[in-house]
Amino acid sequence: MAKKKYEELSDQIIDLVGGKGNVSYLAHCITRLRFTVKDKSKVKDNEIEKLPGAVGINWSGDQLQVIIGQNVGDVYKIICEKHDFEMKSSINENLEDKKKGFNLNTIFDSISGCVTPLLPLLIGGGMIKAVLLILLQLNLMTPENPTYIVLSFAGDAAFHFLPVFIGATGARKFGANMAYGMLIGATLIHPQFIEMITSGTPLSIYSIPVYATTYGSTIFPMILATFILSYVERFITKYTPKIVKSMVVPLLTLLIMLPLTLCLLAPLGSILGTYITDFIMWLYDTTGFFAVGIVCVLYLPLCLTGMHTATLPVLFTMLTTVGYDPLLVIASMLYTINQGVVALLSSVKTKDTEERSEALTCTFTSFVAGISEPALFGFTLKNKRLIYASMIGCFVGGLYAGITNVYCYAIAGTVGFLGLPGFVGPDSMNLINMIIAIIISGIVTFGLGFKFGYKKEEVTE
């Protein structure tokens, strides 16, 4: 899509969502523009769905997700430039305009808004670690090599400093000052704080005991902290005289937030993250391969509703605590490649040349770029029998991956075939078994779809 078409698409989308004034928050993930709107009645979602360049739409609470595909970053950039949205800070939002109910969609949207902006950073760090692991396996580099050491620093830093990164993105998401968020996050991983905690030295603030744990590589503590920070900062700003606001607001905000974070919010977030990880590992250890199959089945509806991004904190927590992920990346990769299989099947079945070309493009996008939305919204959802075929295929492939104990050791930047290096680990069969799981999943889906996915009249038409 040329730049001129991007500009036309951006103008049309902004107009159809009710104008900039109706948008309280704008972000994007790998394939979707995410508009949090103030008044849903002003959004002409049916017309947005028909725009050239828009694959489809999805509502998640008050968030409109416009599925663009792999060009979403370019469209987002032009929207920000042409319509004066800020790419690096939150859009000013009058939270009094509309009180939103607290529901599951709000939670998913909040988690997604905190983590999604960090994906390039986390993917970069994960890929560095994956490359280093491959170099070690091939005996092309040793752990004592200076290049290995420096690159290892960079790969580890992407995860170790997550409290600082989440402090920035969380503050932006919830409408707080990013500097406060980053400072609170940096406090949690301050070397002296870590040293005193690990040595057993008791700490307190205002005579309140500080919970003794470390927070490197954690996500949930700072999501909770930045959420509360937004209310504390807003309250102090509202009641502070303008003449002393520049001095008083930072001071009081930090004096209140530091004990809240160190003594209550961060421990709660750490415990929450630990319990979620423990539950997933318990589910995996208890039900074994069956758990992998179930998660693989559920991944299609998760992606359909845009809730798949809410699993990212759990994924990163598992990678940084137990060192591998036995469920989420496997499910994501099987589902994504499976959507390419469905599109491939559609290209075989259709008699329309243009539709065949679109289907093959969607197949390539899923297989190589690891982007499933074009195939999902363009082909799978138009035929419920293909939905069933895809979910069954993912279930069978997931069962095999579970039976053979397939683990993902690093995020390789895509959940297409190019993401397979993330499965390189101590066991050389790990990668091979993941490839076999993908093949099994694809064969089952293609076979069921070919046999039962189309009625005779649908094919001839």
Known catalytic residues are 29
Whole-angstrom Cα distance, residue 212 to residue 333?
Answer: 38
Cβ atoms of residues 10 and 78 within 8 Å: yes
Please count the CA atoms within 13 angstroms of the CA of 418 that sit on its side-chain side: 12
* Residue whose pair of structure tokens reads 């993250």 in the numeric block: 273
Q: Is 217 strand, coil or helix?
A: coil
Are the C-beta atoms of residues 419 and 367 closer than 8 Å to each other? Answer: no
- 23-28 and 56-60 as β-strands: parallel, antiparallel, unpaired? unpaired
Nearest to 247 by CA among 260, 261, 237, 258: 237
Q: Are 412 and 130 in contact (CB under 8 A)?
A: yes
If 0-12 CB within 10 Å is exposed, 13-18 middle and 19+ buried, where does residue 263 land? middle
Distance of CA 375 to the CA centre of its chain: 19
Q: Annotate 185-203 with DSSP letters as a single string.
A: HHHHT-HHHHHHHHTT---
Tell me how far apart the alpha carbons of residues 379 and 453 are, in angstroms, rounded to a whole number. Answer: 12
Alpha-carbon separation of residue 331 from 17, 104, 315, 357, 390 (angstroms): 33, 22, 12, 27, 12
Among the listed residues 113, 105, 95, 109, the one whose alpha carbon sits nearest the alpha carbon of residue 27: 113
Pinpoint the alpha helices (H) of 57-176: 72-82, 104-115, 119-137, 146-160, 162-174
Distances (CA, A) of 142 to 134, 139, 157, 316: 11, 7, 20, 26
